[in-house]
């Protein structure tokens, strides 16, 4: 069944591992994630952005996830809203059946303009109240990520609005969020860094400082695709024109996991894998026209990346550690707090 993300993150904290959160837009991506989770015996966070909800339509996505929960009953599975831009967006996801939502109040409802701390607290408080009443998890964000993806983001390098540890502590206290996304120099999209990131552009010291201040808070790393060169090379080998770029090294993500990161967002790596596989099929066999001929290899390529990340983040082997808790029970626990 679909479960609250809070349960997965609490268990990850107990086990000292992270859980990958993988974005989806269609059936093949959901299938790739669920098969990778089955192979690695991993708990699962599947997330959909506002762009994905518009592209695929909510009912399609929701029922695809119900099918996934039915086909993989032994895997604790979360359906998460990525970067909700307003109370209304989050409430629509809660009412639809999402088991976790992100209220990104670091930006105004246009999804581009950095907000004030006061606005962020106010809108996040409202989402927490609505979500917790139904046992749904809430992720908030303090600080602003760089880049733009699916039309969401302030642009820039990611260093313009790095999270302030004091504000982070106050934000958690005032809102009661279950998880906290922080800005440490990462960006959305493929073009994160112009060279292998060092302490000047990827502020892992800030992450560690926040964790030391908030040791019991589940931290979230956004924009954490590693953008492997081999995936870029496949695309370019078969007609693509990607510029050289660097993502977040896996070893830096693992350092984050050792310092309180429990949710790691990955999207670009999977897009690269699928696109490379599709380009290869169409380049080598231009006579092909059946979508299954290129979507099957694309699905397999994404599955391999997801399985690798699940292993690297430490979640592999942990799906059977605990029994899923119904949302109604989670809601009662929130009410009793």
Give the residue from 56, 48, 43, 39 showing the smallest Cα distance to 15: 43
At 60, which helix (H) or strand (E)?
Answer: helix 58-71
pLDDT of residue 160: 58
User: Does residue 149 have a pLDDT over 90?
Assistant: no
pLDDT of residue 188: 67
Q: How far apart are CA 189 and CA 199, in angstroms?
A: 20
Q: What is the per-residue pLDDT across 38-67, written as a single tens digit (0 to 9) for each?
A: 999 999 999 999 999 999 999 999 999 999
pLDDT of residue 46: 98
Q: Is the pTM of this model over 0.75?
A: yes
Give the chain's domains with CATH numbers. Answer: 5-324 (3.20.20.70)
pLDDT of residue 155: 45
User: Does residue 143 have a pLDDT over 60?
Assistant: yes
Q: How far apart are CA 169 and CA 180, in angstroms?
A: 10
Q: How far apart are CA 314 and CA 317, in angstroms?
A: 8
User: 82 catalytic, yes or no?
Assistant: yes
At residue 154 the predicted structure's pLDDT band, cuts being 50, 70 and 90, is very low
Among residues 10, 82, 198, 267, the one annotated as catalytic is 82
137, two tokens:
């998890």
**Residues of the chain by 3-state class (helix, strand, coil), percent to 5:** 45, 15, 35
Integer CA distances (angstroms), 333 to 1, 14, 127, 134, 326, in order = 19, 19, 17, 11, 11
Q: What mean pLDDT, rounded, does the chain reach?
A: 93
Q: Residue 161: beta bridge partners?
A: 144
Q: What is the per-residue pLDDT across 225-245, written as a single tens digit (0 to 9) for each?
A: 999 999 999 999 999 999 999
Q: How far apart are CA 196 and CA 135, in angstroms?
A: 41
136, two tokens:
């749904």
Contact 154, 146 (CB under 8 A): yes
């Amino acid at each position: 069944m679909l479960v609250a993300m809070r349960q997965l993150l609490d268990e990850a904290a107990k086990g000292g591992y992270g859980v990958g959160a993988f974005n989806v837009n269609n059936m093949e991506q959901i299938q790739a994630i669920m098969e990778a989770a089955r192979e690695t015996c991993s708990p699962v966070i599947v997330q959909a952005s506002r762009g994905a909800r518009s592209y695929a339509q909510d009912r399609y996505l929701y029922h695809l996830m119900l099918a996934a929960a039915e086909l993989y009953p032994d895997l604790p599975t979360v359906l998460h809203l990525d970067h909700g831009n307003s109370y209304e967006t989050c409430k629509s996801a809660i009412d639809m059946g999402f088991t976790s939502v992100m209220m990104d109040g670091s930006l105004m409802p246009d999804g581009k303009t950095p907000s004030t701390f006061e606005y962020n607290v106010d809108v996040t408080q409202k989402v927490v109240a609505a979500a917790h009443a139904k046992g749904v998890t809430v992720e908030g964000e303090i600080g602003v990520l760089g880049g733009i993806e699916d039309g969401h983001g302030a642009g820039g390098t990611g260093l313009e609005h790095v999270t302030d540890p004091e504000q982070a502590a106050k934000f958690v206290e005032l809102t009661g969020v279950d998880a906290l996304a922080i800005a440490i120099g990462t960006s959305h999209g493929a073009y994160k860094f112009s060279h292998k990131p060092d302490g000047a552009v990827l502020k892992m010291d800030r992450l560690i400082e926040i964790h030391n201040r908030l040791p019991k808070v589940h931290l979230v790393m956004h924009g954490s695709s590693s953008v492997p060169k081999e995936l870029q090379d496949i695309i370019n080998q078969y007609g693509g024109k990607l510029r050289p770029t660097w993502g977040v090294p896996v070893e830096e993500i693992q350092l984050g996991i050792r310092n309180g990161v429990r949710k790691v967002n990955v999207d670009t790596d999977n897009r690269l894998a699928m696109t490379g596989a599709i380009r290869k099929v169409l380049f080598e066999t231009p006579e092909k026209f059946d979508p299954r001929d290129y979507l099957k290899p694309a699905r397999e390529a994404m599955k391999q990346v997801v399985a690798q990340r699940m292993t690297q983040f430490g979640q592999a082997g942990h799906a059977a550690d605990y029994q899923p808790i119904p949302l109604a029970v989670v809601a009662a626990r929130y009410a009793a707090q």
